[in-house]
């Protein structure tokens, strides 16, 4: 761009009181007007603050996960906290369990999860990096953007075929539908038919996952303002200072056992017959493979746990189709050179629903894993 | 396409990059036209037909006026066609599901300035249809103004683009201030206003009073925020748009208020309705009649409902009763400025009740509860709302006082900008709201 210097006119900036000849349009109705240099300074200051604030917050907000920690349920979409938990877990010698609510422990306390029993039975540390409700299409976003700290670590990745049990679960139905963790899924490619978010919000999601300060702002909102924005919070608390809400105390992962922690047969759940999606066309399976590729590219030693699915709930035809999908997944992992275990089917009374074990079920599963030569090999080689 | 979305950011980044490369070539105006049509098509591609119609009507009217001696006939035809199109869409919702296309009220009025000003000999014929179409559809101000005049914009489009680093900086300054007004202020205030106005019969008088006053600021931040962003974008393109809001809540009289609020519309009505009706040239009674008619029509321009008509009528009544008062020595010399400002703010806020209320019935409930219920309990208004509004009002008061120099200090300006940007980054709401004036 060139300076407008013609006929003796000079460039008039915000620090001066002069008007360009023939330009009588007022700038505005306030004095908030900066020169180009001042804008450079302002934007630089903003960039520095955007970097410093989250780092400083990590320093002042106590976060002492301890054994058996898991992301609190209410902070399941607080991906900045998840990133922080990943960094701390990766700093230890723990094997990192990554997966959905099966890993997280939907029907059990944090001391009854798979990671807890693995730690207890083996005497070695296992960290629960599960996120409730996360499906493979969201998992790929989580791993790619918020789990970079896991680089080079031992990872046990859970594969839950429940996400391929119907077109709806596989995110392939044409009608718009709500699903978990939409901010993590691929926003543009591959196209998700039922994901009809506006272009503006999709772009916003892409910006958020690539600019850390936005994730940190979401963390503060989720942890201290009940997941609502500041405006909505002040409406509920009109006379409270927002600063007083910043208690620096994160919710505890502990809690009483969930009220539905009983066998599925006692909860009125009936047998069902899902229409399993073919793996070749499955969006969720495609995303799961992508997650494996990302972890391998980062030098992780991966072990995949397939299941355990509650096959007792399946009708005969559907059970056969499920077992076929299991075999196909196992075959792909074998070809890809990824260590895996097809989890044995647990006794019926140890399941709370189609895919979640109860406490005794997790204990049994942990014992099975520790007996697996492939798992032991990954553990030994990675330590 | 809303300015305060990443979609617009992407659109502008791409469009502006190309614009900078071709700004000194003959492709500048066609490229502006392409950008404007793409921008408008985002709302609904069919709207482009309307935009083209409005553009063509006035362009052909001026062509006809210039080539024949039937100036009056062509002007009348243009006015009838334009207002007919506007009236159809404004009133169509009474008998069908036809929605008012966004921006129609604005670009039709803008296009009309060309044919009317040409008739008056105030603007030259524009030989290039492309350039004229670019003027009508100029995307920074297409959806909600400012309603520009052909004689202001066409010369700028004819001249080569003069864009300096300071223009870009000014554009950014205007845009950021506008963005802050809209996202941090207007959308936040809307939460409380909506909560109260959505159920007025369940609110006490305090809440209704506070919500009405807060709405006065909400609509100011919303509309002036949009305008600031529009002016900022235009500035970066080397185009100067007129000032549309000049701190209206510093007005010391109703006449002063209308010289500060939605200036482009009020001057449009002054120049193309009030003055042709005779203005103040035919005695006091006729002046009041002309004033009242202009205000009522201005109200109806916003929408064909009782509430908007009443809003306009109320302002007409205000002007009739305050015009003499405001020019009296008592008012000008004895009444303190802050009392005048509060008085004007109170009157304007009462009128806003009708503007904002969901229906005429709701407006009556609100007025009745405020003035006769006696229920002055807790309004439940967030303190932060009052802090933000109070801070802005204080800034404006200082801006138009002898301490204005304080605000011009570089550290003060810098600090304010950094704070606004930080607030926007950290406190962005979870929901994107439409601009209020898009519904007109």
In the prediction, which pLDDT does A9 show? Answer: 37
Other beta carbons within 10 angstroms of residue A244's beta carbon come to: 9
Q: Would B1 be classed as within a structural domain?
A: no
Q: Does A18 touch chain B (CB under 8 A)?
A: no
Query: How many CB pairs lie under 8 A apart between chains A and B?
Result: 154
Q: Do A234 and B385 touch (CB under 8 A)?
A: yes
pLDDT at B153 over 90: yes
Predicted local confidence at residue A381, as pLDDT: 58
Of B106, B129, B161, the residue that ends a domain is B161
Q: Are residues A1 and B164, on separate chains, in Cβ contact within 8 Å?
A: yes
| Residue of A27 and A312 predicted with greater confidence | A312
* Judgement on whether residues B353 and B219 belong to the same structural domain of the protein: yes
Residues A134-171 have pLDDT tens digits of 999 999 999 999 999 999 999 999 999 999 999 999 99
Asked which of B105, B134, B161 is the last residue of a domain, the reply is B161
Q: Are residues B179 and B212 in the same domain?
A: yes
Asked if residue B264 is part of any domain, the answer here is yes
Of B217 and B145, the structure prediction assigns the larger pLDDT to: B217
Contact A33 B414 (CB under 8 A): no
In this complex, is the C-beta atom of B164 within 8 Å of any C-beta atom belonging to chain A?
A: yes
List the domain boundaries for chain A.
66-183+253-382
Q: Which residue of B has its CA nearest to A41?
A: B414
Cβ under 8 Å to A: B residues 378-437: 380-385, 395-396, 399, 404, 407-408, 410, 412-414, 416-418, 421-422, 425-430, 432
The chain-wide mean pLDDT, for chain A, equals: 89
Overall average pLDDT of the B38-57 stretch: 91
Domain for residue B393, yes or no? no
Q: How far apart are CA A250 and CA B154, in angstroms?
A: 60
Contacts of B422 in chain A (CB under 8 A): 46, 49
3-state secondary structure chain A: CCCCCCCCCCCCCCCCCCCCCCCCCCCCCCCCCCCHHHHHHHHHHHHHHHHHHHHHHHHHCCCCCCCCCCCCHHHCCCHHHHHHHHHHHHCCCCEEEECCHHHHCCCCCCCCCHHHHHHHHHCCCEEECCCCCCCHHHHHHHHHHHCHHHCCCEEEEEECHHHHCCCCCCCCCCCCCCCCCCCCCCCCCCCCCCCCCCHHHHHHHHHHHHCHHHHHHHHHHHHHCCCCCHHHHHHHCCCCCHHHHCCCCCCCCCCCCCCCCCCHHHCCCCCECCCCCCHHHCHHHHHHHHHHHHHHHCCCEEEEEECCCCHHHECHHHHHHHHHHHHHHHHHHHHCCCEEEECCCCCHHHECCCCCECHHHHHHHHHHHHHCHHHHHHHHHHC
pLDDT at A17: 40
A58 has pLDDT over 80: yes
Is B143 found in the same domain as B243?
no
Contacts of B2 in chain A (CB under 8 A): 200
Contacting residues of A for B4, CB less than 8 Å apart: none
CA of A283 to nearest chain B CA: how many angstroms apart?
A: 27
The predicted model gives B92-110 an average pLDDT of 82
- The ipTM is 0.90
**Annotated active-site positions of B, please?**
302
A334 touches chain B (CB under 8 A): no
> According to the model, what pLDDT value does residue B139 have?
95
In whole angstroms, give the CA distance from residue A153 to residue A90.
Answer: 7
Answer whether A12 touches B (CB < 8 Å).
Answer: yes
Q: What is the pLDDT of residue A2?
A: 34
Residues B254 and B327 in one domain: yes
Closest in A31, A39, A238 to B382, CB measured: A238
Higher pLDDT, A329 or B303: A329
- State the residue range of the domain holding B36: 6-161
Please say if the pLDDT value at position B28 is more than 60: yes
pLDDT band at residue B125, thresholds of 50, 70 and 90?
very high
Instruction: Determine contact: A188 vs chain B, CB below 8 A.
Output: no
Q: Which residues of B touch A38 (CB under 8 A)?
A: 169, 410, 413-414
pLDDT of residue A276: 94
- pTM score: 0.90
Q: Do residues B116 and B171 share a domain?
A: no
The Cα diameter of chain B in Å comes to 69
Note whether A118 and A152 are within 8 A (CB). Answer: no
The tally of domains found in chain B comes to: 2
Which one of B10, B149, B151, B169 would you mutate to disrupt binding with A, by most A Cβ within 10 Å of its Cβ? B169
How far is the alpha carbon of B318 from chain A, nearest alpha carbon, in Å? 26
Among the partner residues A27, A31, A231, nearest to B429 by beta-carbon distance: A231
* Inside any domain, residue B277: yes
The more confidently predicted of residues A88 and B323 is: A88
Residue B81 belongs to some domain of the structure: yes
| Chain A residues near residue B384 by CB distance under 8 angstroms | 230, 234, 242
Please, how many CA atoms are within 13 Å of residue B248, restricted to the half-sphere of its CB?
26
Q: Would you say B181 and A29 are in contact if contact means Cβ atoms under 8 Å apart?
A: no
Looking at the complex, report in whole angstroms how far the Cα of residue A354 sits from the nearest Cα belonging to chain B.
34
Q: Which residue of A has its CA nearest to B8?
A: A200
Q: Do B121 and B269 share a domain, yes or no?
A: no
pLDDT band at A23 (very low <50, low <70, confident <90, very high): low
Question: Best mutation site among A30, A49, A208, A241 for testing chain B: the one with the most B CBs within 10 Å?
Answer: A30
Question: Does some domain include residue B420?
Answer: no
**For residue A18, what pLDDT band results from cuts at 50, 70 and 90?**
very low
Residue B429: is its pLDDT beyond 70?
A: no
B71's CB contacts (< 8 A; 6+ apart) are: B65, B119
Distance from CA of B286 to the nearest CA of A (A): 33
Give the closest-approach CA distance of A200 to chain B in angstroms.
5
Closest Cα of chain A to B107: distance in Å?
Answer: 21
Identify the closest residue of chain A to B4 by CA–CA distance: A200
Interface check for A2 against chain B (CB to CB < 8 A): the answer is: yes
Question: Is residue B151 located within the same domain as residue B171?
Answer: no
Under DSSP, the state recorded for B299 is H
Report the C-alpha gap between A119 and A122 in whole angstroms.
5
B158 touches chain A (CB under 8 A): no
Interchain CB contact of A246 with B (< 8 Å):
no
Indicate if the pLDDT at residue A3 is higher than 80.
no
Residue at B321 is within a domain: yes
User: What is the pLDDT at residue A1?
Assistant: 37
Q: What is the mean pLDDT of residues A367-379?
A: 87
Q: Which of A1, A27, A28 to mutate to test the interface with B (most CBs of B within 10 A)?
A: A28
Q: Among residues 323-352 of chain B, which lie with CB inside 8 Å of chain A?
A: none
- Tens of pLDDT, residues B236-259: 999 999 999 999 999 999 999 999
B202 near A CB under 8 A? no
Is A41 an interface residue toward B (CB < 8 Å)? yes
Q: What is the mean pLDDT of residues B18-46?
A: 93
Contact between chains at B2 and A200 (C-beta distance less than 8 A)? yes
B186: nearest CA in chain A? A231
Q: Which chain B residues are closer than 8 Å to A215 by Cβ?
A: none
Among B10, B417, B426, select the one facing A42 at the smallest CB separation: B417
Find chain B residues with C-beta within 8 A of A2's C-beta.
164
Superfamily of domain A66-183+253-382: SGNH hydrolase (3.40.50.1110)
Residues B172 and B116 reside in one and the same domain: no
B405 within some domain? no
Is residue B193's pLDDT more than 50?
yes
Higher-scoring residue by pLDDT: B257, A256 = B257
If asked whether residues B142 and B192 sit together in one domain, one would say no
Q: Of B161, B194, B227, which closes a domain?
A: B161
A46: nearest CA partner in chain B: B418
Q: What is the mean pLDDT of residues A218-233?
A: 91
Confidence of residue B69 (pLDDT cuts 50, 70, 90): confident
């Amino acid at each position: 761009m060139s300076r407008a210097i013609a006929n003796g006119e000079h460039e008039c900036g915000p620090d001066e009181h002069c008007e360009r000849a023939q330009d009588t349009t007022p700038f505005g109705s306030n004095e908030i007007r900066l020169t180009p240099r001042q804008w450079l300074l302002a934007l630089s200051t903003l960039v520095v603050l955007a970097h410093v604030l989250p780092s400083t917050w990590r320093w002042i907000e106590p976060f002492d996960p301890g054994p058996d920690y898991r992301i609190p349920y209410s902070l399941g979409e607080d991906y900045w906290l998840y990133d922080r938990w990943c960094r701390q877990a990766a700093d230890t010698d723990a094997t990192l369990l990554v997966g959905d609510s099966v890993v997280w422990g939907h029907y059990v306390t944090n001391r009854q999860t798979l990671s807890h029993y693995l730690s207890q039975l083996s005497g070695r540390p296992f960290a629960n990096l599960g996120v409730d409700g996360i499906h493979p299409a969201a998992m790929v976003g989580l791993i790619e953007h918020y789990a970079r700290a896991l680089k080079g670590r031992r990872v046990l990745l859970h594969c839950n075929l429940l996400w391929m049990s119907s077109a709806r679960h596989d995110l392939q139905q044409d009608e718009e539908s709500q699903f978990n963790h939409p901010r993590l899924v691929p926003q543009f490619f591959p196209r998700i038919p039922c994901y009809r978010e506006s272009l503006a919000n999709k772009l916003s999601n892409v910006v958020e996952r690539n600019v850390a300060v936005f994730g940190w702002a979401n963390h503060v909102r989720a942890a201290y303002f009940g997941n609502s924005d500041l405006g909505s919070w002040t409406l509920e608390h009109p006379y409270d200072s927002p600063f007083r809400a910043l208690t620096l105390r994160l919710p505890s992962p502990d809690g009483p056992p969930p009220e539905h922690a009983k066998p599925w047969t006692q909860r009125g759940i009936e047998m069902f017959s899902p229409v399993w999606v073919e793996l070749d066309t499955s969006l969720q399976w495609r995303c799961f493979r992508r997650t494996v590729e990302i972890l391998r590219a980062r030098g992780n030693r991966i072990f995949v746990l397939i299941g355990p699915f509650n096959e007792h709930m399946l009708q005969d035809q559907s059970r056969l189709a499920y077992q076929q999908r299991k075999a196909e997944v196992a075959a792909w992992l074998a070809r890809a050179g990824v260590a895996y275990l097809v989890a044995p089917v647990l006794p019926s009374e140890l399941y709370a629903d189609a895919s979640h074990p109860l406490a005794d079920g997790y204990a049994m599963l942990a014992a099975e894993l520790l007996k697996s030569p492939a798992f032991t090999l990954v553990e030994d080689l990675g330590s | 396409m809303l300015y305060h979305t990443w979609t617009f950011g992407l659109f502008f980044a791409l469009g502006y990059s190309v614009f900078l490369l071709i700004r000194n070539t003959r492709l500048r105006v066609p490229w502006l036209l392409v950008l404007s049509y793409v921008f408008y098509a985002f709302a609904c591609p069919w709207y482009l037909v309307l935009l083209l119609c409005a553009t063509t009507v006035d362009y052909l009217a001026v062509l006809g006026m210039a080539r024949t001696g039937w100036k009056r006939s062509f002007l009348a035809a243009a006015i009838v066609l334009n207002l007919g199109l506007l009236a159809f869409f404004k009133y169509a919702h009474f008998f069908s599901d036809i929605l008012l296309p966004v921006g129609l009220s604005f670009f039709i009025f803008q296009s009309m300035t060309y044919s009317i000003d040409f008739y008056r000999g105030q603007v030259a014929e524009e030989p290039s249809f492309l350039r004229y179409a670019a003027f009508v559809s100029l995307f920074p101000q297409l959806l909600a103004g400012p309603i520009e005049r052909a004689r202001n914009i066409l010369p700028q489009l004819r001249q080569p683009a003069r864009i300096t680093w300071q223009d870009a900086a000014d554009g950014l300054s205007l845009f950021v201030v506008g963005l802050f007004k809209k996202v941090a202020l207007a959308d936040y205030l809307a939460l409380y206003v909506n909560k109260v106005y959505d159920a007025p019969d369940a609110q006490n008088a305090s809440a209704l009073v506070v919500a009405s006053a807060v709405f006065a600021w909400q609509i100011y931040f919303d509309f002036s925020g949009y305008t600031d962003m529009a002016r900022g974008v235009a500035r970066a393109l080397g185009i100067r748009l007129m000032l549309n809001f000049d701190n209206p809540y510093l007005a010391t009289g109703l006449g002063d208020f209308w010289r500060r609020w939605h200036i482009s519309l009020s001057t449009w009505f002054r120049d193309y309705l009030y003055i042709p009706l005779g203005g103040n040239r035919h005695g006091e009674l006729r002046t009041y009649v002309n004033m009242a008619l202009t205000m009522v029509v201005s109200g109806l321009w916003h929408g064909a409902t009782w509430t908007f008509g009443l809003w306009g009528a109320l302002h007409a009544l205000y002007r009739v009763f305050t015009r003499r008062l405001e020019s009296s020595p008592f008012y000008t010399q004895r009444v303190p400025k802050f009392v005048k400002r509060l008085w004007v703010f109170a009157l304007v806020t009462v009128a806003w009740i009708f503007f904002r209320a969901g229906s005429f019935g709701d407006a009556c409930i609100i007025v009745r509860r405020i003035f006769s219920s006696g229920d002055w309990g807790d309004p439940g208004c967030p303190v932060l709302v009052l802090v933000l509004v109070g801070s802005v009002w204080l800034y404006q008061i200082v801006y138009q006082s002898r301490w204005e120099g304080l605000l011009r200090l570089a550290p003060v300006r810098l600090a304010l900008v950094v704070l606004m940007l930080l607030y926007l980054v950290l406190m962005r709401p979870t929901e994107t709201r439409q601009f209020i004036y898009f519904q007109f």
